[in-house]
Structure 1
Amino acid sequence: MGGIGLRWLGHSTVRVELAGSTVLTDPVLTRAVGPLRRVVPLPPPASWAGVDLVLVSHLHGDHLHLPSLRLLDPGARVVVPRGAAGWLRSRGVRWVDELAPGESLVHGGLRVTAVPAVHSGHRWGPRLRHGPDTAAVGHLIEGDGRTVHALGDTDLHDGMTGIGERGVDGGPIDVSLVPVWGWGPTLGPGHLDPRRAAEAVARVRPAVAVPVHWGTLTVPGGTRLPGLAARYRRLLTDPPRAFAAAVAARGLPTSVLVPGLGERIALPAAAGAP
């Protein structure tokens, strides 16, 4: 009671159990996301059973994935960046709420607050103008005296230090879900690599950091491309360990827990259930 339950289901999808609610971040639950292909096993339906709150950080297809949302209980509450609710309701999602950075809502025993992120919020990417466009966000999930921080997709920004001071009663954040790579052999703007993700941890200073946004999706044939295959295969496994090493090299007090796919993350008693 009062602890945090966490399971990483791939990419940025994390099941968070806290204060009597079951939350899913940026659900990606299928074999394909547009042209991208999943290279790890699908999460079983039991892993998303009972989800009553979904947090979407931004509108890109690997974070706001309509086929995955349609697998969930249609009565689940979906929280999107401000300006996207009408677009999502027009596609059949029943219960949609919006949050802009700094805004909060209450869901059962949880309080969810949107925090700033530096990342393109356009549905189709930064170079296109048609379709919905919103500010990307991260989320603070607070309940039972615990705080989980989902960064979403973001570049480094000065506001991260302020986010780190937003734990319950002004204390530190218990767990941050930190993006450490992406789905390609290189990163575009608005992303963190392992070294820069360690800088994000230095600014936020959570008790525990869990690396996400890695090891799940590739372009078709990406691990067989001549000249890129070996690098691509390494990038499916190396980023979270490079992140952990970068955090340790800086002497930061944060514990890095590299998740196993679908496995319950064993949090220290100070951050999760004893």
Structure 2
Amino acid sequence: SALIDPVFSDRLALLPRSAPPGVARADLPKIDLVLITHNHRDHMDAPSLRLIGDAPLYVVPEGLGSWFRRAGFSRVVELAWWEQRELEGLAVTFVPAQHWSRRGLFDDHTSAWGGYVLEAEGLRVYHSGDTAYFEGFAEIGRRCGPIDAAMLPIGAYEPRWFMRTQHMNPADAVQAFEDLGARRFVAMHWGTFKLTDEPLDLPPQALCEAWAERGLADARREIPAIGQTLRLDR
């Protein structure tokens, strides 16, 4: 089993959580891998990582390994963009995103950020991490495809003048999906923390509208409720 950017905390600084974790920490199965997309606190939550503990293998962007080792995690693998490793039965490729990294006041861009393409038993799944829309989606599709399912963010996008260079809106996410050439869209990154100006429940509605405008089949789009189990197959 694997986790990506696990956050179990009830608050992030002054921000309260608006929905409980999809799976309570006590109900998790044995975790073999924890993948981190970047070092922002809503994706790399130190209290949650301490709860998970040192047993899993932690896969982190280039430049973040030292933070994990200082925090007491002994099994850490750093990946650069486009680097692939076979880890715990998964082929893991770290791919670019249009975002940024910073943990403190003076450490801008000292570690990488990105997404992951995961492959096992012929199934290939892409998790973008935080990202704005960028031309790199087409390259990810070319280099890592065919992608069976693309997990793409649809929330935290208003106001656009500020967020457009770091987070996609739902229409951007639909364009990214088409650029990737993926078979199925899985919506993520919405409804948990009120990070930006749009209502928490707006992104799914906006995604459905953008989807319909493109004339895409509803069967190719998934908007899982928080805590819902989704079975992915080829």
- Relative to the length of structure 1, the TM-score reads 0.76
1:154 partner amino acid: T
Ranges in structure 2 where 5+ consecutive residues have no aligned partner:
none
Name the residue aligned to 1:192: 168
Name the residue aligned to 1:211: 187
Name the residue aligned to 1:238: 202
* Cα displacement (A) at 1:49: 2.6
Name the residue aligned to 1:34: 13
Structure-2 change in CA distance of 1:266 and 1:192 (3 Å): same
1:98 aligns with 2:66: no
* Cα displacement (A) at 1:211: 1.0
Name the residue aligned to 1:67: 47
Name the residue aligned to 2:152: 178
Name the residue aligned to 2:29: 49
Tell me if the contact between 1:26 and 1:57 (Cα under 8 Å) persists in the aligned partners: yes
Tell me if the contact between 1:183 and 1:214 (Cα under 8 Å) persists in the aligned partners: no
Structure-2 change in CA distance of 1:216 and 1:94 (3 Å): same
Post-superposition CA distance 1:138-189 (Å, at most 9, x none): 100011001110000111221211212345xx5x211111011128777623
Name the residue aligned to 1:261: 226
* Cα displacement (A) at 1:248: 3.0
Post-superposition CA distance 1:25-56 (Å, at most 9, x none): 11111101222210112431255331110111
* Cα displacement (A) at 1:73: 4.2
Structure-2 change in CA distance of 1:162 and 1:265 (3 Å): same
CA distance in 1, matches of 2:44, 2:222: 25
Tell me if the contact between 2:39 and 2:102 (Cα under 8 Å) persists in the aligned partners: yes
SS of equivalent to 2:116:
strand
How many pairs are equivalent? Answer: 230
* Cα displacement (A) at 1:135: 2.0
Name the residue aligned to 2:100: 120
2:37 partner amino acid: S
SS of equivalent to 1:88:
helix
> What root-mean-square deviation, in Å, do the aligned CA atoms of Structure 1 and Structure 2 show?
2.3
* Cα displacement (A) at 1:244: 3.0
CA distance in 1, matches of 2:98, 2:58: 22
- Relative to the length of structure 2, the TM-score reads 0.89
Between Structure 1 and Structure 2, which shows a larger proportion of helix residues?
Answer: 2
1:68-87 to 2 correspondences below 5 Å: 68-87=48-67
CA distance in 1, matches of 2:29, 2:11: 21
Tell me if the contact between 2:157 and 2:168 (Cα under 8 Å) persists in the aligned partners: no
1:244 partner amino acid: C
SS of equivalent to 1:157:
coil
CA distance in 2, matches of 1:81, 1:237: 31
Higher relative CO (Cα under 8 Å, sequence separation at least 6) belongs to 1
Name the residue aligned to 1:14: none
